[in-house]
Amino acid sequence: MRNSAGRVVVITGAAQGLGRAYAMRFAKEGHRVVVLDLQTQALERVATEVRALGATCLPLTVDVSDVSSVEKAAAAIEQEFGRCDVLVNNAAIFSTITMRPFEQIPVDEWVRVLNVNITGTFLMTRALVPLMRRHKWGRVINVSSAAFLMGRPNYLHYTTSKAAVVGMTRSLARELGPDGITVNALLPGATDTEVPRETVTPEQKRQQIAMRCIQREEGPQDLEGVVSFLASDDSAFVTGQSLVVDGGYCFV
Ligand X SMILES: NC(=O)c1ccc[n+]([C@@H]2O[C@H](COP(=O)([O-])OP(=O)(O)OC[C@H]3O[C@@H](n4cnc5c(N)ncnc54)[C@H](O)[C@@H]3O)[C@@H](O)[C@H]2O)c1
Interface residues toward ligand X, by CB under 6 A: 12-13, 15-19, 37-39, 62-65, 90-95, 116, 120, 143, 145, 188, 190-191, 193, 195
User: Are the CB atoms for 167 and 121 separated by under 8 Å?
Assistant: no
What single letter denotes the amino acid at residue 59? P
Q: Which is nearer to ligand X, 21 or 173 (CB)?
A: 21
Measured CA distances, 128 to 50, 148, 162 (Å): 22, 27, 21
Q: Which is nearer to ligand X, 12 or 242 (CB)?
A: 12
**CB 236 to ligand X: min, Å:** 24
The verdict on whether 158 is a catalytic residue reads yes
Q: What is the CA radius of gyration of the chain?
A: 17
What is the C-alpha end-to-end distance of the chain, expressed in Å? 25
Q: Which is nearer to ligand X, 29 or 37 (CB)?
A: 37
Measured CA distances, 193 to 155, 179, 184 (Å): 20, 35, 23
Q: Which is nearer to ligand X, 112 or 133 (CB)?
A: 112
Q: Which is nearer to ligand X, 150 or 180 (CB)?
A: 150
**CB 162 to ligand X: min, Å:** 7
Taking CB atoms, the residue at the shortest distance from ligand X is 17
For residue 8, the surrounding DSSP H or E stretch is strand 8-12
Of 31, 16, 150, give the one whose Cα is nearest residue 92: 16
**CB 99 to ligand X: min, Å:** 13
**CB 39 to ligand X: min, Å:** 5
**CB 178 to ligand X: min, Å:** 28
SS3 content of the chain, % helix, strand, coil (to 5): 50, 15, 35
User: Are the CB atoms for 28 and 53 separated by under 8 Å?
Assistant: yes
Distance CA 65, CA 67 (A): 6
Active-site entry in 22, 155, 158, 249 = 158
Task: Please identify every residue annotated as catalytic.
Answer: 158
